[in-house]
Amino acid sequence: MGKLCILDYTKAELAGMVKPSFRAKQIWGWIYHQYATSFETMQNLPKTMREELAQTYEIMPLKIARKECSTDGTIKYLFELSDGKTVETVWLKMKDESIDEEGNIEHEARYTVCVSTQVGCKVGCSFCLTAKGGFTRDLTAGEIVAQVLAVKMDNNLAAHRRLNIVYMGMGEPLDNLDNLAKAITILKDEEGLSISGKRQTVSTSGLSTKIDKLGEMDLGVHIAISLHAVDDELRTELIPMNKAYNIASIIDAVKRFPIDTRKRVMFEYLVIKNKNDDLGSAKKLVKLLHGIKAKVNLIYFNPYPGSDYQRPSREDMVAFQEYLIKHGVLCTIRDSKGLDISAACGQLKEKSLT
């Protein structure tokens, strides 16, 4: 039997496992503040305790198997888990550091980590490369947390430096809700990485009943809906799961979800040439979102070898955006990042298999 992963446990759980319990806070600090990867480095713990911990637990349940760096600052990681399975994580620079005339830092650079929640995915979206590999297993809470830790360590980002987390990598987050919720709780801990719920966004392809469950957990996170279509016929082509969770059920669940009144619900809309990039679709989308404080994020389809879909034109993207804004819907176009590397979800993993 393999070792337990210490990242799988909340601070409260760790306090119940380690005696005396105050040692849990010290261990927690070593891991989340000092980025310790071995118990031997935890010098304020008794030697016998360090040895016992090393025999029972591992700290990092993954390692970098492959890494690709884009000219725009995006880094795509392929992590190998303890059982040899692999998942992808993306490090995104959202805003560059700004320096004033005297050489002082005015604003620090802003980063987002796109995290995976499963090895593979059950949803089977027709546009997603991850779907080709099918579903293998859920990630544990520790394996989710470890992705954030690993990229912070690899980019020399101090523990106190905040970043945003989006659960938009491999897998459907709400299909692994219990482990996801635990990971969110661990990452939120103020004595750990202290990444508040406001900085964490859960993206879902629309498991409406589990949207309700996530809302009941009151974790303070944002939610993003991968909508991608304005009618059930096209959405079922793109996301077969739509047969079980249609657009109407998703919209109803969103209306029930507890939202900070200052915030908006994000709707991700993957724009595919000659599929959903016309103004007729824009008009239907405005009607669909009526009554919801929404923000629409238009996303260019990111082509990959063998895909049946094409990237839309810039002109059609802008026309779609302008229509939504004109009709009262906040809308942005997400600039594609990492186009010079394997940035599409599942692309680096697929490349490693060829």
Encode the chain (354 residues) as per-residue pLDDT tens digits: 689 999 999 999 999 999 999 999 999 999 999 999 999 999 999 999 999 999 999 999 999 999 999 988 899 999 999 999 999 999 998 876 556 566 666 567 899 999 999 999 999 898 888 777 789 999 999 999 999 999 999 999 999 888 999 999 999 999 999 999 999 999 999 999 999 999 999 999 999 999 999 999 999 999 999 999 999 999 999 999 999 999 999 999 999 999 877 789 999 999 999 999 999 999 999 999 999 999 999 999 988 888 889 999 999 999 999 999 999 999 999 876 666 655 555 555 444 444
Binding residues for S-adenosyl-L-methionine: 171-172, 203, 226-228, 302
Residues 22 and 116 in one domain: no
Tokens for 293, please give them: 């404080």
Residues 68 and 54 in one domain: no
Binding residues: 121, 125, 128, 171-172, 203, 226-228, 302
Residue 191 bears catalytic tag: no
Binding residues for [4Fe-4S] cluster: 121, 125, 128
Would you state the pLDDT for residue 336? 63
Residues 91 and 10 in one domain: no
The whole model's pTM is what? 0.90
Residues 256 and 197 in one domain: yes
Q: Nearest to residue 17, comparing CAs of 62, 52, 44? A: 52
Residues 52 and 69 in one domain: no
Residue 88 bears catalytic tag: yes
CATH of the domain at 67: 3.20.20.70
Would you state the pLDDT for residue 163? 94
CATH of the domain at 28: 1.10.150.530
Residues 228 and 251 in one domain: yes
Would you state the pLDDT for residue 352? 42
Residues 196 and 326 in one domain: yes
Q: Tell me whether residue 150 is in a domain.
A: yes
What is the tally of structural domains in the chain? 2
352: exposed, middle or buried (C-beta count within 10 Å: 0-12, 13-18, 19+)? middle
Residues 287 and 265 in one domain: yes
Q: Can you give the residue range of the structural domain that contains 37?
A: 4-58
Catalytic residue among 5, 114, 331, 345: 345
Residues of 280-297 as b/e, b for ≥16 C-beta within 10 angstroms? ebbeebbebbeebebbbb
Catalytic residue among 5, 58, 68, 88: 88
